[in-house]
Amino acid sequence: MKTGTLNRPILALALLASVTGFADFSISFNFGAGIEESRKTAFYDAAAFWEAHLTGYRYNDPSLNGIVIQAEIAAYDGSGGALGYGAPAAAQFFENITLDGASSAANVAYSTEGYMLFDSEDIDSLIAGGSWETLVRHEVAHALGFGYGWNFETNGITYNEVYALDSGQYTGAGALAAYQSEFDADATFVPVEMSDQIHWDEVDEGIALTGIVDSQGRDMRYELMTGWLNTQEPSFVSNTTLGQFYDLGYTVIPEPSSIGMLALCGVCMHFIRSRFLV
Ligand SMILES: [Zn+2]
């Protein structure tokens, strides 16, 4: 059993209470097939949320000014199963740069274009159950690089070295410091789900609590960036997730711990145990 402590709040805050960013960061969408007008609000809300927490870049380059995400709704795998998909579609690569606030140089890749697909068979039940906004917010995070941007290798060069493949251990300094502050003061890594290695770890299929609990009593099971959508409690976004974006090179504003809960799941009547995937 691990519980959140406040043993290391200063370190976490030093890493998260960001330095002044350079270019502004903004999220925009190209809406493709199936994104009806009534379904767009969730996208705008997701953009507003992430723009409020990722305020800019820790590296100054004129090419960095935000991300454009293509979003579509289409038949995927029938009802249940995979609900949505989000990932970077293009990135800007920088070698041997020193991010603002960093002590040494690194290779950094920023997602500049993203792609998201939502399963048309699941949309109505997600909206009825109050989970549509949660799903969109989750997939936007992937489009920004959560999971997919870890240890990204191309042309023999590795970028964003925060996770060693097959280790199950995320070691980026920003997320780790936040995790130590929020969940486990003695942690040496943030646990990563092994099946696809792009989410924080939780019990397979989300069928049980993880036992990893923050000072507000929130179990990691309900964190937004685990791999399984939960509907019995509102999702929350931890500073561990925001610290991960700091590690990817964004300036970050932490969640105020007292209002971290996202009241997104007002009507959690049914019990979806479906994967966000991937
Ligand atoms: Zn996911």
**Token representation of residue 20:** 């002044």
Residue 176 near residue 141 (C-beta atoms within 8 A): no
Q: How far is the CA of 14 from the centre of ligand 1 (A)?
A: 28
CA of residue 104 to ligand 1 center, whole Å: 30
Gap from CA of 87 to ligand 1 centroid (Å): 9
Whether the Cβ atoms of residue 81 and residue 45 lie closer than 8 Å to each other: no
Centroid of ligand 1 to alpha carbon of 221 (angstroms): 13
Q: How far is the CA of 139 from the centre of ligand 1 (A)?
A: 6
- Region 150-170: what's the mean pLDDT? 96
**pLDDT value, residue 1:** 32
Handedness of CA 127, 199, 208, 242 (dihedral sign): negative
What is the identity of the amino acid at 142? H
Is 158 domain-assigned?
yes
Average of per-residue pLDDT across 201-230: 92
pLDDT at 24: 80
- The pLDDT tens digits of the residues spanning 237-274 come to 999 999 999 999 999 998 765 333 333 322 222 233 34
Domain hosting residue 188, numbered range? 2-259
Confirm whether 270 is domain-assigned: no
The answer to whether residue 277 sits within a structural domain is no
Q: Per-residue pLDDT for 5 more than 80?
A: no
Please report the pLDDT score of residue 276 as a whole number: 52
In angstroms, what is the span from residue 230 Cα to ligand 1's centroid? 12
Within a domain: residue 264? no
Q: Give CA 238 to chain center in angstroms.
A: 9
**CA–centroid distance, residue 192 to ligand 1 (Å):** 12
Residues β-bridged to residue 115: 70, 87
> Is the predicted pLDDT of residue 119 greater than 90, yes or no?
yes
Residue 277 in this model has a pLDDT that exceeds 60: no
Tokens 């699941």 appear where? 122
Residue 268 lies in a domain: no
Give the type of residue at 238: S
67 part of a folded domain:
yes
Structure tokens at 117: 């697909």
**CA 253 distance to own-chain centroid:** 14
How many angstroms separate the CA atoms of 273 and 131, rounded? 12
In a domain, 88, yes or no: yes
How would residue 234 be classed by pLDDT, with cut points 50, 70 and 90? confident
Query: What's the rounded Cα separation, in Å, for the pair 46 and 185?
Result: 30
How many independent structural domains does the chain possess?
A: 1
> What are the C-alpha distances in Å from 176 to residues 3, 93, 126, 172?
15, 24, 32, 6
Interval between CA 199 and ligand 1 midpoint (Å): 6
Lowest-confidence segment of 177-181, 218-222, 253-257, 272-276 by average pLDDT: 272-276
When mean pLDDT is compared across 2-6, 88-92, 124-128, 133-137, the lowest value belongs to 2-6
Output the pTM of the full model: 0.85
Cα 83 versus chain centre, distance:
16
Q: What is the residue type of 125?
A: S
Interval between CA 226 and ligand 1 midpoint (Å): 7
- Rounded mean pLDDT of the chain? 85
Considering the domain boundaries, does residue 241 fall inside one?
yes
CA of 17 to the centre of ligand 1 (A): 26
Gap from CA of 103 to ligand 1 centroid (Å)? 31
The DSSP 8-state label assigned to residue 104 in this structure reads S
Gap from CA of 260 to ligand 1 centroid (Å): 20
Structure-token pair, residue 123:
């949309």
